[in-house]
Structure 1
């Protein structure tokens, strides 16, 4: 039975949430839909987030907020007034302030939200942490850049900074510890975590970081083409101009739904690619007088030079990350003909742009030999195609970022591989009934072992392997948030020590029915891609 919480004082005024229970029956206080910035509408479209307005009376923080505008599978949803966050905890007056876990949702920078259809707080809150989830601007609204003072870009990342600032100012009112904040995210959310590690804007706003299946070094995590893509959007919407100010004024006032849809469509027409269709993403900013840039130098330079926030860092992958890129092929194997006929388009755009035509062909030959022994790609060797996508799109960048951090950080780096294949694998489920062509988890399958999946929440036998693995994952993640060490002491649930990843000893913690340590995961494959990155000077 639900009731209202006590009234809480935050910087904008008084608010009140609702009391309910977690799935296990434990206490759960929900404060949902709290504005952390002004609505980014009208003249604030494409602008940095502004401090939220105060209110009179008691704000009812009892319903999930609207999602930020997005277009998925032909359906548009969301509204521009979307910069809200949610706070979940067991109690607002604990004897000791609780560690704060600040979740950054994924979705390729174009879809998703912090809402409970994917990210129910139950299991994390039961483990004694305070959870914050939130929405940030996506796609063209969050990452348009004209590389000038009108539109510097990275607004979606700056929204996240605004949410972190709100946490610093207000989380103690909910019983959270502003001096113990762990940022964590998956996929695009992990990329955001990685960018926050190197941005001067985030200094002091978090104290630990977890990047799941992503890093700022993934090739699709950034672009140098923001400006040309911005003009391409204007042209598709009917404005042919070379004037930046005219374009900016036009895009600030154009119909929201048209803007979001056309921005998503340009990459297939403007750029020669058959890979990931992620158009507007983070970028290095032009330094503008009077404005602090979120990112003024390329992230690899900063990581390589040790210019990042030195905090305990956890990162990792799942076994078959690359299966997310094979969704269409699983449904229509005949699409493999196009892959074989135009294999060069499989390579990331950033790599192709850095090479001559002859170098691209030479690289294609190397990749074909390394992954396929020069055989055509078919459904019989699709596992190798999944490995290629795993390494090229995710694992190589995650591994390289971990090496850079471990090389100069004053804190430990913990690297995992999630290898359990169970009923809570939401990534595999989202691909449909034909997806299970490879055993092992797919991209996103780890999420079902951290969050209560509102869209899919089966009642499981407490003795099932799924429940046991979920308990292990929750303990590892919350131990890290509490202490900076995922295994501060051995328990029957966590019987082995998770040893740090170092440049001298690349240790990996394998999360499966049984937990175990290993070394040099995907070693030959990672070395192959490091050589390619050096060739392309990425």
Structure 2
């Protein structure tokens, strides 16, 4: 590997570790099998005097920076045991390089943005291990960004305009542009990809004039800017509400902010959850300020109307998106499965700005399509899951693709439908479903994961085939802009008026107009109520 090398002596044992010069100084990585890893490199610093706003630049390193630890994570609630974890010293980036890479023959770069509903998760290799992708001849970059109140508080002021987490992502992309060549990566051949909130984030960067020059291809996995769970209205009184919950009785936003800066971030996360404010800490439309670059200057549907996308893009979803935990509508059904607060109504109300009469009509229309005149109960669970997947993932992906096709972009659609031993979310949440793929399941076939992440994983030969197929398609797309796997008999054709999808399952095949009846229904709903979309 043609990096600079440093000879170290430890307990009289000589070892050679790779060194790379970055804009902040030398970083030292570690050899692991056929991969050289540089983990936990700081790319920005949270400003102690403005923890919800713009970051500070990283000062030059004092000596050689040891890039061997990816354990940093931003403040959040753990989704498994619900403990509050993380610190604000979390804006770190990881670079994984195939053995043999060198600055004289630059490789394509794949930059991944993790999901987690803008409030949880991180980029560490326990979940997003590089082995499967990097061994296919690309450089993989992952990174953390601020979450919850620290990433998405907006008070419509120039110092806290909102979308700080997206600005962190932008800073990470700038770091890639300025430093990746030293690792053997081509900053003129960058594919930005993500899952869930990470996929929506990718699309915000596509639609932002400040970011789109920083990458050249994109992959959206189970998330677009049109999904109903992505956007929120800014709560300009959020600092006051959090401060009051934490013990300061004030109505002054500045006093509240200064108080919050002295509070342990874990307590701020706890307060955000306990008060319900966590739901408002999402991407939001920003007001414009002098010398402040807005990450989101208008609602997504308007941004898409203006889109002139020239880069190739993959957009897709999983076949059973919303099965884990019934998390998006379980609040709508009590222990006796009696109707308490309609999932249909609450989701429609959140997405469309309708008066009560139109909301009643829309609710009746959607409810009748999915469960006819039935009351919500055990016998309607499958239909409710279907509704939620359609409304929150599948139809937004279809609508999204139409904007780009109309703009002249090359768009590839897919449905991931494989049920095997590495289905990530099924294993993580112990979902007993022997068919299809739930939300996030594809992650297990793109990234190597540690045993504690895949506790019940028993990898089969069939799983290994899917790993190879998925990673070849993703890396071939990164290299050529075409995901058709060169090593397999399957042609993944881009979207035309036929709206063909690649079905990625036990067999690879192109399917035309899948879910046609359900998608046609939502076409009618949006034709009726589209002018009332909040986003």
TM-score norm. by structure 2 comes to 0.90
Distance 1:329 1:48, change over 3 A: closer
Query: Structure 2, unaligned stretches of length 5 or more?
Result: 1-12
Counterpart in the other structure of 1:312: 312
Counterpart in the other structure of 2:301: 300
Counterpart in the other structure of 1:11: 23
Counterpart in the other structure of 1:273: none
Checking the alignment, whether the CA contact within 8 Å between 1:13 and 1:55 is kept in structure 2 is yes
Query: Structure 1, unaligned stretches of length 5 or more?
Result: 22-26, 271-276
Distance 1:8 1:69, change over 3 A: same
Counterpart in the other structure of 1:448: 444
For residue 55 of structure 1, the aligned residue among 61, 72, 92 is 61
Confirm whether residue 412 of structure 1 aligns to residue 427 of structure 2.
Answer: no
Counterpart in the other structure of 2:40: 33
CA deviation profile, 1:207-259 (whole Å, cap 9, x unmatched): 00001000011112111233254543344334455443333333333331211
SS of the residue aligned with 1:164? Answer: helix
SS of the residue aligned with 1:64? Answer: coil
CA deviation profile, 1:398-423 (whole Å, cap 9, x unmatched): 221111111103x3100000011111
The CA deviation at 1:396 is 1.8
Q: What is the CA–CA distance in structure 1 between the aligned matches of 2:475 and 2:351, rounded to whole Å?
A: 41
For residue 523 of structure 1, the aligned residue among 493, 499, 516 is 516
The CA deviation at 1:353 is 6.1
CA deviation profile, 1:149-188 (whole Å, cap 9, x unmatched): 1210100000000000000000011111100110101001
The CA deviation at 1:507 is 1.1
Checking the alignment, whether the CA contact within 8 Å between 1:314 and 1:413 is kept in structure 2 is yes
Checking the alignment, whether the CA contact within 8 Å between 1:42 and 1:253 is kept in structure 2 is no
The CA deviation at 1:334 is 5.2
Q: How does 1:316-465 map to 2 (within 5 A)?
A: 316-324=316-324, 326=326, 335=335, 337-338=337-338, 340-343=339-342, 347-348=346-347, 351=350, 354-409=353-408, 411-432=409-430, 435-437=431-433, 439-454=435-450, 455-456=453-454, 458=457, 460-461=459-460, 464-465=461-462
Counterpart in the other structure of 1:85: 93
Checking the alignment, whether the CA contact within 8 Å between 1:65 and 1:84 is kept in structure 2 is no
Checking the alignment, whether the CA contact within 8 Å between 1:18 and 1:31 is kept in structure 2 is yes
Q: What is the CA–CA distance in structure 1 between the aligned matches of 2:351 and 2:336, rounded to whole Å?
A: 21
The CA deviation at 1:438 is 6.4
* Number of corresponding residues: 513
- Is 328-337 or 199-208 further displaced after alignment? 328-337
Distance 1:263 1:376, change over 3 A: same
Checking the alignment, whether the CA contact within 8 Å between 1:171 and 1:177 is kept in structure 2 is yes
- Is 524-533 or 187-196 further displaced after alignment? 524-533
The CA deviation at 1:300 is 1.3
CA RMSD of aligned residues (A): 2.5
For residue 168 of structure 1, the aligned residue among 149, 173, 177 is 177
CA deviation profile, 1:409-448 (whole Å, cap 9, x unmatched): 3x3100000011111111112222xx22562111011000
Counterpart in the other structure of 2:151: 142
SS of the residue aligned with 2:322? Answer: helix
SS of the residue aligned with 2:337? Answer: helix
Q: What is the CA–CA distance in structure 2 between the aligned matches of 1:280 and 1:250, rounded to whole Å?
A: 19
Q: What is the CA–CA distance in structure 1 between the aligned matches of 2:193 and 2:331, rounded to whole Å?
A: 32
Q: What is the CA–CA distance in structure 2 between the aligned matches of 1:252 and 1:56, rounded to whole Å?
A: 27
Distance 1:13 1:510, change over 3 A: same
Checking the alignment, whether the CA contact within 8 Å between 2:221 and 2:316 is kept in structure 1 is yes
Counterpart in the other structure of 1:291: 292
Checking the alignment, whether the CA contact within 8 Å between 2:348 and 2:363 is kept in structure 1 is no
Distance 1:375 1:453, change over 3 A: same
Q: What is the CA–CA distance in structure 2 between the aligned matches of 1:13 and 1:353, rounded to whole Å?
A: 50
Q: What is the CA–CA distance in structure 2 between the aligned matches of 1:232 and 1:472, rounded to whole Å?
A: 49
CA deviation profile, 1:474-521 (whole Å, cap 9, x unmatched): 1110000001000174x3x3x12111113x221100001110001122
Checking the alignment, whether the CA contact within 8 Å between 2:155 and 2:234 is kept in structure 1 is no
Distance 1:262 1:319, change over 3 A: same
Q: What is the CA–CA distance in structure 2 between the aligned matches of 1:139 and 1:204, rounded to whole Å?
A: 27
Q: What is the CA–CA distance in structure 2 between the aligned matches of 1:438 and 1:365, rounded to whole Å?
A: 33
TM-score norm. by structure 1 comes to 0.90
Q: What is the CA–CA distance in structure 2 between the aligned matches of 1:394 and 1:349, rounded to whole Å?
A: 14
Checking the alignment, whether the CA contact within 8 Å between 2:348 and 2:359 is kept in structure 1 is no
Distance 1:278 1:325, change over 3 A: farther
The CA deviation at 1:397 is 1.5
Distance 1:344 1:497, change over 3 A: closer
Q: What is the CA–CA distance in structure 1 between the aligned matches of 2:198 and 2:336, rounded to whole Å?
A: 30
Q: What is the CA–CA distance in structure 2 between the aligned matches of 1:70 and 1:484, rounded to whole Å?
A: 36
Which structure's residues are more often helix, by fraction? 1
Checking the alignment, whether the CA contact within 8 Å between 2:337 and 2:378 is kept in structure 1 is no
Q: What is the CA–CA distance in structure 1 between the aligned matches of 2:332 and 2:235, rounded to whole Å?
A: 32
For residue 478 of structure 2, the aligned residue among 460, 472, 481 is 481
Checking the alignment, whether the CA contact within 8 Å between 1:329 and 1:335 is kept in structure 2 is no
Confirm whether residue 119 of structure 1 aligns to residue 128 of structure 2.
Answer: yes
Q: What is the CA–CA distance in structure 2 between the aligned matches of 1:204 and 1:486, rounded to whole Å?
A: 22
